[in-house]
């Protein structure tokens, strides 16, 4: 079985696209993108995730009493876990 496809080829459009992509402004963005990619890989490789820096917004008005109790228990358990890690000499 033979499958053939015809793709229109416009050399002027290709050259114009290449010229736009190779502009100095686009080069800077590619360099900045590469730097951000490298920093992201570094964060993943070192395990420094931003979980402790992120904030968690919990609207208290929409929570039921049961949810409030559950959330308070979670906070107490998390504080005890972190206190235990600090007591054992491990970094938080």
Q: Which of 24-33, 41-50, 51-60 has the lowest mean pLDDT?
A: 51-60
Contacts of residue 49, defined as CB under 8 A and 6 or more positions apart, other chains included, come to: 43
Q: What are the two backbone dihedrals, phi and then psi, of residue 12, each rounded to the nearest 5 degrees?
A: -65, -40
Stretch 70-88: mean pLDDT, rounded? 82
d(CA 7, CA 13): 14
CA distances, 79 to each of 52, 54, 71 (Å): 13, 16, 12
pLDDT for residue 13: 87
Beta strands in 1-92 (DSSP E): none
User: Do residues 26 and 34 make contact, with C-beta atoms less than 8 angstroms apart?
Assistant: no
Stretch 30-46: mean pLDDT, rounded? 88
Distance between start and end Cα atoms, the chain = 62
Stretch 26-36: mean pLDDT, rounded? 87
Q: Over 60: is that where the pLDDT of 52 sits?
A: no
Q: Over 90: is that where the pLDDT of 36 sits?
A: yes
């Amino acid at each position: 079985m033979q499958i053939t496809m015809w793709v229109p080829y416009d050399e002027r459009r290709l050259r114009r696209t290449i010229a736009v992509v190779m502009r100095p402004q686009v080069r800077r963005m590619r360099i900045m993108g590469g730097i951000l990619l490298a920093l992201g890989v570094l964060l993943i490789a070192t395990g420094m995730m931003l979980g402790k820096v992120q904030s968690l917004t919990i609207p208290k008005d929409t929570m039921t009493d049961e949810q409030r109790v559950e959330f308070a228990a979670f906070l107490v358990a998390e504080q005890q876990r972190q206190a235990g890690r600090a007591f054992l000499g491990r970094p938080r």
